[in-house]
Amino acid sequence: MKWFAPRVGGQRWRVHLVPRSDPRMQEDDGSTLDGHTIPEECLILIADDLCVEAREETLVHELDHAINIVSGARHEMELTCRGAKEKAEHEERVVRARTPVWHRLLKDLGFRFPKGPGK
């Protein structure tokens, strides 16, 4: 289900709420993701079973990935890493570290997250 479509650095990104059974939400080890960013499609997927607070946190996390991609920050992070796995893990650690800070800051500044299905 399409949730909303923000602009990230001038690019239109779509944010969809999807069931965890969606194949794009599956990890190689069989676990499921709360969110997933697909840069080639300018698409962010968020699990539709998350409570409002977790959905917001996941949205901030995935938008930070999109910002890193659009701004070129991901490329800059990758310059210090060797293999593809190391590059992905490095960016994920940076995004995870910033997510709760961004989330709280946005709320303190009065940002209102788009309404979605209530939980």
Kindly state the helix (H) or strand (E) to which residue 27 belongs, with its residue range.
none
Structural domains in the chain, sorted by start: 2-108 (1.10.10)
Q: Judge residue 67's burial from the number of C-beta atoms within 10 Å of its C-beta, 0-12 exposed, 13-18 middle, 19 or more buried.
A: middle
Q: How far apart are CA 46 and CA 16, in angstroms?
A: 6
Kindly state the helix (H) or strand (E) to which residue 46 belongs, with its residue range.
strand 43-47
What is the per-residue pLDDT for 78?
85
Using 70 as the pLDDT threshold, list the residues of the chain that sit under it: 118-119
User: Model confidence over 46-55: pLDDT tens digits?
Assistant: 999 999 999 9
Can you give the length of the chain in residues?
A: 119
